[in-house]
Amino acid sequence: MKRNKLISAPFFLVLAGIVVMFPGVDMTQSACAEQPGYIVSVQLENDLFGSTDRYFTHGFYWYVFTGSEARLVIRNIFLDGNTFKDSHCVDKKPLVGDIQAGVVFQYDRIRLSYTQIYRLKEFKGQKRPHNYGSLGVSYQF
């Protein structure tokens, strides 16, 4: 017998690379029917199809998720400009946040997911925040 359940999962992350550098915290909630395994979704940048579960399910299954993330931006080459010479740059905001929501449908090994992301303004003078979505189709071998 399937039962509905709500899963909440906090994530702490640190990204240190050439393009971006930041520590952050993420909180995600998933509402789903109980299945074997553990389901939790993560931010779009961390996983293109909106979830970290990698187990095989039989039959039709679906869940919805929401999440939020806050990042303290130390470096972002797209906003700060070139690292090794003078180039165009903008005054970035040190604290950036995302809010996301989405839905995942799965039938056996085929998965269809949609995630909508709302990102707060990243630099001074930015006219409006980014708001974008992602549609993913995958097949698990």
- Sorted by sequence, the CB contacts under 8 Å of residue 36 that are 6+ apart come out as 55, 57
* Phi, psi for 78 (deg, rounded to 5): -70, -25
pLDDT of residue 127: 93
Return per-residue pLDDT of the chain as tens, 141 residues. Answer: 455 666 777 778 788 887 888 888 877 777 765 554 444 444 444 444 444 455 556 788 888 888 888 999 888 888 888 878 888 888 899 899 999 999 988 888 888 999 999 999 999 999 999 999 999 998 888
Q: What is the largest CA-CA distance in the chain?
A: 63
pLDDT of residue 106: 86
User: Domains along the chain?
Assistant: 4-139 (2.40.128.140)
Distance (Å, rounded) from C-alpha 50 to C-alpha 46? Answer: 9
Distance of CA 58 to the CA centre of its chain: 26
Element (H, E) at 16: strand 4-16
pTM given for the model: 0.72
Of 35, 34, 15, give the one whose Cα is nearest residue 24.
15
